[in-house]
Structure 1
Amino acid sequence: MKDPLVSVVIPAYNRPYFLEVALSSVLRQTYSNIEIVICDDSTDDQVQSMLIPYLERFSCIRYYKNEKNLFVQNFHKCFQLAKGELINYLMDDDLFHPEKVQKMVDVLQRFEDVSLVTSYRQPFDQHGNLLPPIKATVKLFEQTAVLNGKTFGNYVLSHCINVIGEPTTVMFRKADLTENFGMYRGKQYSTLNDVASWLLLLSKGKAVYLPEAYSYFRMHPEQNRSFDVLYAPLTEWLDLMVDSRKDGFLETDHLFKAALYTHRQYVEELQKVQDPRVREKVDTVEKRIDSILRTLK
């Protein structure tokens, strides 16, 4: 069987040192049929300067400097420029295990009805030190697991936790992602863009979870912690719950109500925050949840 081309797509932004480490982790892959697509949304030329020797040495790297900041649309540009049958995003501050691509390609070649492959991911800090798991990164299974897509999606939605992983974690077939990355049923998500795309993929087939740490998720002070990033999920989780039912997720009122109550508990915890912007968002989401619950049996 011919080895499919894998596109590792990297939306870059103002982090040349982290990007160089991330890029090196791709160049060390045991799988060889890889192209690397870097779309640079940086506000300066530091990333471009860092990449010059790599572009001269490695023909598998394609680099594009955006004329203006594309923000979330930079993810779209990466995807559109990718030529591979299989896609794996790589955030410019994360890392791949050397065998990540090979292991995930093997799964997708073995199972035609699998639309998403993920794995345990290991958190680490800005200095490269491994960190203990956080709530979202706890290992789900000790052995490789083949999961029903709807069931896996229901688990994510009912717990309001992205246990599938960040964009770095997942490999999928390009043909299966029928909307731009981060879009679900025509709506563009900002902070839950990965969850939105995972639900789209899970609506089409099964998932495979690998228990080994094939991705490394960097946690550091430079990550975006703006108001929108921290509190947009209040609305976005609710939107995903509602819209995903059209694809067969949370198919019973019982499952839907359980997910809504879980989300409401999280929203209620934020009532103590004094910021009026938070209070306004909390009040809006609470009213919307209560309105939906009144329509259910």
Structure 2
Amino acid sequence: MKKNPKVSICIPTFNRMQYLTQTVQSALDQDYENIEVLVSDNFSSDNTEELMKQFSSDPRVIYNKNNSNIGMVLNWRKLLYEMVSGDWFILLSDDDYFIDHAYISKAVKLLESNIDMNAVYASGYISNTNGDVMKEMTIPYDEVESGKNIFLKKYTVVPQEFTLCNIIFNVEKSKDLKAFSDLNNLYCDSQLFSEMCLSGKVGVIKDYVSVYRYHPGNLVTKKRTFEELVAICQVYFSPYRIASASSVITSIELAKWDVKHLRPAIKSVILHISADHADQFEDGYKRIKESAPYSLTVYFTDPKFLLKYLITKNRFLYSLILKLKKKFSGSEK
């Protein structure tokens, strides 16, 4: 790896001017010199464009405003494929911010001493909207960790496995993996991280480097559309295929990962489509089955899943169960 690589800090934004100044400034405050700060405005209707003028004199900042709102994933794609000129990139959401000025310096030091790394990630804080509740997201791995180990233990780190602002990705490798190609895949960041882990070692910074704001406005907290549910499957199918073709992951290890992570996720998707998009179920199941790395008939041999599936197919029974669940959970007086 070359010395002093360029790092692109990518900030996708949409109508978040109340947070954006802090976000951009936290990027500019990094003590690593070879950076660019790229802001891609997804056709905001507030005064984001005017606000960004305060940074116009800093040559490290590049501001772009899209001609229309192209959606979250396509905005990420625009940043990576059309704006980034660095060797490494970070996606820093417009409501998150760095708190460690040496974050990128620490990451680059790790990268320069380990040529087979494709990513570095760090610990951080998760905050509510007001910033008065902070949870620690601690990364439980060694400074230089096997990507295989992280992949096999994925979805076990609490309260949250990672946030985008805590990961530095290799640009060339991300493009090779066709990152952010499906506009309906709102979890494509998780997919990219899994695939990066299967491609080599991962650097780990134990320090708390950023604050991730969690609030009701986060896009991924909203109810999923039919197309988004179908797209979620690739978050699991694609890494499974890569792991299956890899000599690093044994068939026994992959089988355990399948049972523990892939199957529960795909079962959940099938049930959600059946419950929330019943009129499109046949099409959705067909598409999922065609893209699956193995036959899905094995799922229907699970009595619990089959019972849940049959309940969602019975609209009256499903509606009744939801009402009873709501009542006895204490949410209905």
TM-score (norm 2): 0.72
Q: 2:21: which partner in 1?
A: 20
User: Deviations along 1:90-139, whole A, 9 cap, x unmatched?
Assistant: 11111112221111111111111111100112111222334224xxx454
1:101 equivalent in alignment to 2:99? no
Counterparts of 1:1-297 in structure 2 under 5 Å? 2-55=3-56, 57-71=57-71, 72-80=73-81, 81-96=83-98, 97-133=100-136, 137-141=137-141, 144-156=142-154, 165-177=162-174, 178-183=176-181, 190-224=185-219, 225-228=221-224, 232=229, 235-240=233-238, 242-248=240-246, 251-253=250-252, 255-265=254-264, 276-277=275-276, 291-292=295-296, 294=298
Deviates more, 1:99-108 or 1:262-271: 262-271
RMSD (Å) for aligned C-alpha atoms: 3.6
| 3-state SS of paired residue (1:227) | coil
Structure index of larger Rg? 2
Change (3 A) 1:247 1:115: farther
User: Deviations along 1:160-216, whole A, 9 cap, x unmatched?
Assistant: 999652221111332222244335xxx666222112211332233211122111122
Deviates more, 1:256-265 or 1:201-210: 256-265
Cα distance in structure 2, aligned partners of 1:5 and 1:275: 47
| 3-state SS of paired residue (1:4) | coil
TM-score (norm 1): 0.79
Deviates more, 1:40-49 or 1:22-31: 40-49
| 3-state SS of paired residue (1:10) | strand
User: Deviations along 1:48-105, whole A, 9 cap, x unmatched?
Assistant: 11111111x3121001100122211111111121111221121111111222111111
| Structure 1 unmatched runs, 5+ | none
**Conserved? CA contact 1:156–1:163, under 8 Å:** no
Letter in 1 for 2:258: A
State the Cα distance separating 1:44 from its structure 2 match: 1.3
Bigger relative contact order (CA 8 A; separation at least 6): 1
Deviates more, 1:160-169 or 1:77-86: 160-169
Percent identical residues: 18
